[in-house]
Amino acid sequence: MNHNSHDLPNRAVIVQRKVLSNLTAVEGVNCATLVSPEGFPIERTSLGLDLTKIIVLFDKLPDDKMLTVIGEEGTIVGYRINTGHILAIQCTQGCNLGQIRIALEKACNDLAESI
């Protein structure tokens, strides 16, 4: 059986999906989105995450690697990867942000090898 290369996701996409899936398995993480350096979502686990605030913050604070925005719907944590991509997650209120930040940093290190 022949498969057209367009039928199968490339290795980078598979890695991105796996990393985001693993990240959303962490207690307190609702959804995750990988954003291109230009600000466009590349891969995401949910359509409901509004990343406008975190992207604007990263634009205003270009030297920061990790930023946190606390809002009514929960907390958004963003991590800028060396490539300029941002991995952002939405967390539930009252979650263990320390544990989640460690998982987010590990996820970004895993993603940096695939993008």
DSSP state of 35: E
Residue 32 pLDDT class (50, 70, 90 cuts)? very high
Rounded Cα distance between 22 and 38, Å, is: 25
Please answer whether residues 115 and 30 qualify as being in contact, where contact means their C-beta atoms are separated by less than 8 angstroms: no
Q: What is the H or E stretch that residue 16 is in?
A: helix 11-24
CATH number for the segment(s) 5-112 = 3.30.450.30
Q: What is the H or E stretch that residue 109 is in?
A: helix 97-112
Q: How far is CA 22 from CA 26, 60, 70, in A?
A: 7, 30, 23
Q: What sign does the dihedral 45-51-57-58 (CA atoms) show?
A: positive
3-state SS, residue 115? coil
pLDDT at 2 over 60: no
Report the pLDDT value the prediction gives residue 1, as an integer from 0 to 100: 43
State the average pLDDT for the chain: 87
pLDDT at 71 over 90: no
Report the pLDDT value the prediction gives residue 49, as an integer from 0 to 100: 75
Report the pLDDT value the prediction gives residue 73, as an integer from 0 to 100: 76
Rounded Cα distance between 54 and 90, Å, is: 11
Report the pLDDT value the prediction gives residue 4, as an integer from 0 to 100: 45
- pTM, two decimals, is 0.86
Weakest-pLDDT range from 2-6, 18-22, 89-93? 2-6
